[in-house]
Amino acid sequence: MKITYIHFLGTLMLAAIGLTSCEKVIDVDIKESASQLVIEGTVVDDADMQTIKLSRSVSYTEDNTYPPVTGAQVVVTDSQGNEHDFVERIPGVYISSFKGQPNITYTMRVKVNGNDYTAQSTMPRPVELDSLSVTEITFGGEDRKVVAVHYKDPADEVNQYRFVMWVNGTQTRRVYANNDRLTNGNDVKDQLFYSSDDDNEEINDGDVVEVEMQSIDEPLYKYWVTLADQSQNGPGGGVTPGNPPTNVSNGALGYFSAHVSRKKTITIRGNGQ
């Protein structure tokens, strides 16, 4: 929020005297980095097929093309003693047919080039996504439409959530994570703010917005909230960025998440709704 806030303030002050701030693309001198194993594994309750992706990170200066890691052994076991073998369907994408269950702890084991990587995640109890709504606000000198999710937070447990939003099928470039530290037991309205600084298009009339609400466990919340802090703050503006705390062992990047997934879609109409 911080840089957005100060930037916004600067913009307002300049607007008052008829000027604007500016941005430009610069060359940065960044050394190459060693490639790391990246594991992105999910077990969800709303699909019969679970996916674990293995790839490698690349240097900052390279294209956003991440080499798949093939030939790995991937297994997930659950706290009831079931074992699910994953098969590599396409290079780097490993798949297994089973449905995730709430309150079950899943353990992922990945073996690549003789190295073992493990992670554990517990699927929380489901929380339903009740509805989506749209409000129009004025922010940073522009009228913007903001989509909000509505859900009832259970009072008797600690809950964490992650939201993913797509506008006309394109995922917005922002990480949303929240917990019930300040909202426990309430009917919650969570507004999914984003700014065009993040290289997103604004939401306009006629757009179709889809939101996924994930109920996640505590370590995954830490993971996403750290990523969220980063994506809103460039170096020099806000917090010093760091790598999110992964739940995968042995120095791999990424995460393994067993979560409840709920989705809803809304079509934006004129006059704010």
Partner 1 sequence: MQKRHFYYLTLIISLLFALPVSAQKRYTVSGTVRDAQTGETLIGATVRIQNASAQSAAATNSYGFYSLTNTAGEYTFTITYTGYQQVTQTVNLTADTKLNIDLKSGSELAEVVVRATDRKNENVRSPQMGLDKLNMKDLDNIPVIFGEKDVLKTIQLLPGVKSGGEGTTGFFVRGGAADQNLILLDEATVYNSSHLLGFFSTFNADAIKDVSLYKGGMPSQYGGRLSSVLDVVMQDGNNKEFGMQGGIGLIASRLKAEGPIVKDRGSFMISARRTYIDLLLQASPDSSVKGNTLNFYDINAKANYKFDDKNTLYVSGYFGRDNIGIKDLFANQWGNTTATIRLNHVFNSRLFSNTSFIFNKYNYSISLLDDDNNANVTSLIRDFNLKEDLQYFSDKHTIRFGFQGTHHRIAPSEITTDGNSSFNPLSIENRYGLEMAAYVSDDWKLTDKFNLLYGLRLSSFSLLGPGTFNTYDADGDVASATKYGSGEFVKTYFNLEPRLSLSYSLNEENSVKAAYNRNTQNIHILTNASTSSPTDQYVMSSNNIQPEIADQVAIGYFKNAKDNTFEFSVETYYKWLQNQIEYKNGAQLIANANVESELLYGSGRAYGLELYTKKTKGRLTGWISYTLSKTERKFDGLNDGNYFPARQDRTHDVALVGIYNLSKRWSVSANYIYSTGNAVTYPAGKYNVGGLTTYYYTQRNANRMPHTERLDLSATLKAKETKRFRSSWSFSLYNALNRKNPYAIQFRDKKDDPNRTEAVQIALFGIIPSVTWNFSF
Residues 234-263 that bind partner 1 (CB under 8 A): 234-245, 253-255
| 197 part of the interface to partner 1, by CB under 8 A | yes
Task: Give every CB contact of residue 237 below 8 A, 6+ residues apart in sequence.
Answer: 2, 3, 6, 7
Smallest gap from Cβ 217 to partner 1, in A, equals: 15
Contacting residue, 46, 48, 49, 60, with partner 1 by CB under 8 A: 60
Distance CA 261, CA 46 (A): 6
**Residues 62-81 as x/- pattern, contact with partner 1 by CB under 8 A:** -xxxx---------------
Contact region with partner 1 (CB under 8 A), list: 24-32, 73-81, 84-92, 117-125: 24-32
Interface residue with partner 1, options 52, 225, 258, 268 (CB under 8 A) = 225
Tell me phi and psi for residue 27, to 5 degrees. Answer: -85, 135
| Residue carrying structure tokens 């506008």 | 167
Distance between CA atoms of 116 and 134, rounded to whole angstroms? 46
Torsion, Cα of 224, 191, 42, 127 (10° steps): 120
User: How far does CA 153 lie from the centroid of its chain?
Assistant: 20
Q: Residue 175 interacts with partner 1 (CB under 8 A)?
A: yes
CA distance 2 to 238: 6
Residue choice 29, 80, 81, 113 for contact with partner 1 (CB under 8 A): 29
Token pair in block for residue 96 = 């297994």
Taking the complex as a whole, the smallest distance from the CB of residue 100 to partner 1 amounts, in Å, to 17
The reply to whether 131 sits near partner 1 by the rule CB under 8 A is: no
Which one of 22-30, 76-84, 111-119, 260-268 is the stretch in contact with partner 1 (CB under 8 A)? 22-30
**Which residues, other chains included, contact 57 with Cβ-Cβ below 8 Å and sequence gap of 6+?**
33, 35, 36, 38, 66, 253
Instruction: Locate 42 and state its tokens.
Output: 């999910």
Q: Least Å distance between CB 83 and partner 1?
A: 25
Smallest distance from partner 1 to CB 68, Å: 11
Within 75-114, the residues that bind partner 1 by CB under 8 A are: none
Q: Footprint of partner 1 on residues 35-54 (CB under 8 A)?
A: 35-36, 38, 40
Give the nearer residue to partner 1 in terms of CB position, either 98 or 193. 193
Q: Under 8 Å CB-to-CB from 60, ≥6 apart: which residues? A: 30, 33
224 near partner 1, rule: CB under 8 A: yes
Please, which residue, 83 or 141, has the CB nearer to partner 1? 141
Q: Which is nearer to partner 1, 7 or 145 (CB)?
A: 7
Kindly determine how many residues on this chain lie close enough to bind partner 1 according to the rule CB under 8 A: 92
Give the pair of three-digit tokens for residue 45: 């309750």
Residue 217: HSE in the Cβ half-sphere, 13 Å Cα cutoff: 22
Q: What six digits make up the tokens of 77?
A: 């076991």
Output 19 or 83, the one with its CB closest to partner 1. 19
